[in-house]
Structure 1
Amino acid sequence: MENVQTPPKQIVDVLDQYIVGQNEAKKAVAVALRNRYRRMQLSPQMQEEISPKNLLMIGPTGVGKTEIARRLAKIVNAPPFVKVEATKFTEVGYVGGDVESMVRDLVENAVQLEKQAAYKRVNADAVKQANNELLKLLVPAKKKENNQNDMQNIMNMFSAMQKGETPDINAGQQEELTDDIREKRLSTSDKLRAGLLENEMVEIEVPDPSQSNVGNNNMLNQMGIDLNDSLAGIMPKKMITRTVSVAEARDVLTRQAAETLVNSADLYHDAIENAQNSGIIFIDEIDKITGGSSQSRGEVSREGVQRDILPIVEGSQINTKYGTVNTDHILFIASGAFAESKPSDLIPELQGRFPIRVELNDLTKEDFVRILTEPNNALVKQYIALIGTDNIKVTFTIEAINKIAEIATDVNHNTDNIGARRLHTILEKLLEDILYEGPDMQMGEITITEKYVDDKVGQLAQNKDLSRYIL
């Protein structure tokens, strides 16, 4: 599953493998994704007229809103996708997150996607260059001074810096290849191609990771300016030497070679186009910025945050370090529990920008049973696999599964309803002794029965005071 050309039914089928129920929400998301592809098949004039139908998912915590977004990001790994928390933003004029950063994050994601695609296209040439560099590292030759004067070397270094490349400090030197060196390199080249030198150690130079955030300034970042990129044009990157295997060195050198083979200007242009026409921004916890949320009282004006978000959702021009982005056709999916507020507490203008609303239902005991057993990443399967690493085979009876689901339902009903997240707490408490003693048991088989569940967590669940704090 790679892009929005995938039919809605197939998107729902994939979501069904990880998320129980909530069919209405799955269908709405799948249709919204498909409409992205449909729009791109129309004439340019018609494309401009069709705006995305943004979604608002409403439902209690732990029923699958965030999980739908998380799985969606993996299903549609071709369109740029970012997930943000509405609570991290503050109104303009206050210290905190700038709402425009969500668009810049989306473009950053689009750039990375374009880089992956571009590097893949030039991979063959990049690997060839990397292997040539590996030969020089494995069979080094003596250096000899060339006939270039110092001024020419300085000009070459300055030219490389202007292009954003790391200048070659050895530019004024050439290799002195003797017949012996040539013969050794031919022999080593054959071994490289045969994969016989993958574990040999070599020294390579890589950019210093500690310099990646030097000069970062929050105010500049909010203006779409990256000080690191600006400095890169006037001064070389700081390099460090690492000793790595040939296999790892090839990956690093291939990446470095690919960067020189790709046209960055074209890459950034394509990334912005992709973000504008196919980008998806998922805004979680949007209910926390409503006037009706008790969490917002006494804090920075949440209505101000809504008003800052509004022009971005409506369509505006946002400056990024890669260029200006138009948000007219970005798809926005928002979600919130709305436990202490309701969608109508959002400012009317923002409500109108999310015309499609879907409500996710509370989870029942039957849903919990399915969550524990059916999905590809079912919790029971996860714990069986984890404990299995200690050579212990754990089996759950169906009665035990039903009991766990019953306890989760009761605790959610009697305390705070946190949905499927309650299962994590109950299973961790249920299996804590096995997880603790497992490494010392060496091997064995354990069956989790209904009685075992009742003994370990059943009594806790019946005691409201204890269940409130422990489960």
Structure 2
Amino acid sequence: MSENDFIIVDEEETSKEDNRQDTGREEEKKEVTTSDHSEKDDDGYERICFICHRPESVTGKMVELPNNIAVCPDCMQRSFDMMNNSSMDLSSMMNIPGVHFMNLSDLDNLQPKAQKIKKKKKEPKEFKQLDIKKIPAPHKIKARLDEYIVGQEYAKKAISVAVYNHYKRVATGTMDEIEIEKSNMLMIGPTGCGKTYLVKTLAKLLDVPLAITDATSLTEAGYIGDDIESVVSKLLAAADNDVERAEQGIIFIDEIDKIAKKKTSSQRDVSGESVQQGMLKLLEGSEVEVPVGANSKNAMVPLTTVNTKNILFICGGAFPDLEDIIKERLQKKTSMGFNAELKDTVEHDEELLSKVTIEDLRKFGMIPEFLGRLPIVFTLKGLDKEMLVKILKEPKNAILKQYQKLLALDEVKLEFDDSALEAIAEKAMEKDTGARALRAIIEEFMLDIMYEIPKDDNIGEVTITRAYIEGTGGPVIQLRGQAVPRLDG
């Protein structure tokens, strides 16, 4: 063996050793890069796509570019597609004088620095599978509703039975060949009678996702406004984008009377009958493509499929002028004979709305196909003075109890005379907006009390009187350890 052979062997071993060192350096670089990325991911803020400005929670994992530039997979794919489909040869442009490609370092200052979105704390999702033995019976659901809602006995009974039957249907699934149909509901009642509050309380008791949406913003597909599928999109958001949990939720569509057919209109009815027709498939149960985190479908928003078969739809509306349609129908009966209906009894009937029929709703402007998918129709009564007084003090989270708790934190006792409660109810009746008027009235006269009480540590008790509500006197203030009535005129 010659000396050259030895030299060759040594060179081979040296090159192998160099390769090992280079590999080690590359691994060290990878470790450093990985640690850098992990530190960047854990800074508490989401990365935002440089092109479409959507956060990583919406787009999915970002593609990292030099100079801390992040691009979402959708924008990256579109960029590749544009380059592949383009007839221009980019490589030939590299040698053209006067043509300069932008350096990535130049983009660093173009990234909007102010757009930072705090990351949500990831909590383990607990999906509660419905157990038919654990579904509360109708009388138990109504008993819980009684704690929060005054009156409306028939409405609470109807909604308790409908919800109980619906979740029995969801829990059993397809146990045999008999398939139970959905029990969607239509609530009719004047404004401020408790339609929305009833549904909110129900969803809280059942611990199911609830989406409350307004029918006034819905339009036919292709027109300005929210798409019809946006009602399901809101439910998906309420379920934290958990499709399986959202498919067992409740959707409450308020102001449903606003999508009635327009009777005197020569233009296209894009927010009336068209919306009713578009909602038919949702109410009956079908698979719909829903935008995630948006109200309308577009190229920048991902879509997911939600089956509305087990979603309970509750529609509610005030239906103004419906009473006139009911009066017209009842007054058509002859005013003579044994079965006569006197005109006066119809005019002054306080429960006229409870006599509504499907035909009355059709005359109002609801199409028969839409009404056919809402088999349970019930009405809520308007609130009288006695019910308003009960709403003030009886429910678990009554308005007066809220203010009493606020002042109790200042170690001050708040009391209301019975005559003061009646005065508040009378003022609310004048506004004719139902229970919503109570809050506005109380906020008005409690403003000065909530402002003045923290000034004086000697005040121990405040009693609201009728004179204070009517503006002819002031509250009775009792100091700690002694009673000193004082009127602030």
> Shorter-chain TM-score: which interval?
0.5 to 0.7
Partner-residue secondary structure (3-state), 2:471: helix
Measured on the aligned residues, the alpha-carbon RMSD in Å equals 3.0
Q: Contact 1:56–1:335 (CA<8 Å) still a contact in 2?
A: yes
Alpha-carbon distance between aligned partners in 2 of 1:21 and 1:456, rounded to the nearest angstrom: 32
Measured after TM superposition, the shift of residue 455 of structure 1 is 2.5
The equivalent residue for 1:308 is: 278
Q: Structure 1, residues 121-180: CA drift from partner, whole Å, max 9, x if none?
A: xxxxxxxxxxxxxxxxxxxxxxxxxxxxxxxxxxxxxxxxxxxxxxxxxxxxxxxxxxxx
**Aligned mate of 1:334, from 310, 315, 323:** 315
Partner-residue secondary structure (3-state), 2:279: helix
For 1:354, the aligned partner's letter is L
Measured after TM superposition, the shift of residue 274 of structure 1 is 4.1
Q: Structure 1, residues 33-61: CA drift from partner, whole Å, max 9, x if none?
A: 21133224546264772221110000001
Structure 1 residues 293 and 28: alpha-carbon distance in aligned structure 2, compared to 1, 3 A threshold: farther
Alpha-carbon distance between aligned partners in 2 of 1:393 and 1:42, rounded to the nearest angstrom: 51
Q: Contact 1:293–1:340 (CA<8 Å) still a contact in 2?
A: no
Structure 1 residues 52 and 457: alpha-carbon distance in aligned structure 2, compared to 1, 3 A threshold: farther
**Aligned mate of 1:81, from 198, 206, 210:** 210
Alpha-carbon distance between aligned partners in 2 of 1:404 and 1:72, rounded to the nearest angstrom: 28
Map 1:112-261; keep pairs closer than 5 Å.
Answer: none
Q: Contact 1:404–1:426 (CA<8 Å) still a contact in 2?
A: yes
For 1:454, the aligned partner's letter is E
Structure 1 residues 431 and 109: alpha-carbon distance in aligned structure 2, compared to 1, 3 A threshold: closer
Partner-residue secondary structure (3-state), 1:44: coil
The equivalent residue for 2:361 is: 343
Map 1:237-386; keep pairs closer than 5 Å.
Answer: 271-276=242-247, 278-291=248-261, 300-320=270-290, 323-340=304-321, 343-344=361-362, 345-386=365-406
Map 1:382-421; keep pairs closer than 5 Å.
Answer: 382-409=402-429, 411-412=430-431, 417-421=432-436
For 1:376, the aligned partner's letter is K
Measured after TM superposition, the shift of residue 322 of structure 1 is 7.3
Measured after TM superposition, the shift of residue 350 of structure 1 is 0.6
TM-score (norm 2): 0.54
TM-score (norm 1): 0.56
Higher relative contact order (CA 8 A, sep 6+): 1
Alpha-carbon distance between aligned partners in 1 of 2:458 and 2:373, rounded to the nearest angstrom: 58
The equivalent residue for 1:455 is: 471
Alpha-carbon distance between aligned partners in 1 of 2:268 and 2:466, rounded to the nearest angstrom: 48
For 2:160, the aligned partner's letter is A
Aligned positions, number: 292
The equivalent residue for 1:423 is: 438
Partner-residue secondary structure (3-state), 2:253: strand
Q: Contact 2:284–2:309 (CA<8 Å) still a contact in 1?
A: yes
For the pair shown, which has the larger CA radius of gyration, 1 or 2?
Answer: 2
Q: Does 2:180 correspond to 1:44?
A: no
Sequence identity percentage: 44
For 2:385, the aligned partner's letter is K
Structure 1 residues 104 and 431: alpha-carbon distance in aligned structure 2, compared to 1, 3 A threshold: closer
Partner-residue secondary structure (3-state), 1:304: helix
For 2:185, the aligned partner's letter is L
Q: Contact 2:280–2:370 (CA<8 Å) still a contact in 1?
A: yes
Q: Which runs of 5+ in 2 are unaligned?
A: 1-127, 291-301, 323-359, 475-489
**Aligned mate of 1:26, from 141, 156, 161:** 156
Alpha-carbon distance between aligned partners in 1 of 2:311 and 2:185, rounded to the nearest angstrom: 12
Structure 1 residues 327 and 379: alpha-carbon distance in aligned structure 2, compared to 1, 3 A threshold: same
The equivalent residue for 1:440 is: 455
The equivalent residue for 1:243 is: none
Measured after TM superposition, the shift of residue 88 of structure 1 is 2.1
Q: Contact 1:390–1:443 (CA<8 Å) still a contact in 2?
A: no
The equivalent residue for 1:106 is: 235
Measured after TM superposition, the shift of residue 293 of structure 1 is 9.3
Q: Is the helix fraction higher in 1 or 2?
A: 1
Partner-residue secondary structure (3-state), 2:257: helix
Q: Which runs of 5+ in 1 are unaligned?
A: 113-270, 459-471
For 1:106, the aligned partner's letter is L
Alpha-carbon distance between aligned partners in 1 of 2:408 and 2:189, rounded to the nearest angstrom: 36
Aligned structure 1 segments of 4 or more residues deviating by more than 6 angstroms: none
Q: Does 2:74 correspond to 1:93?
A: no
Alpha-carbon distance between aligned partners in 2 of 1:47 and 1:330, rounded to the nearest angstrom: 21
Structure 1 residues 97 and 457: alpha-carbon distance in aligned structure 2, compared to 1, 3 A threshold: farther
Q: Contact 1:392–1:443 (CA<8 Å) still a contact in 2?
A: no
For 2:319, the aligned partner's letter is F
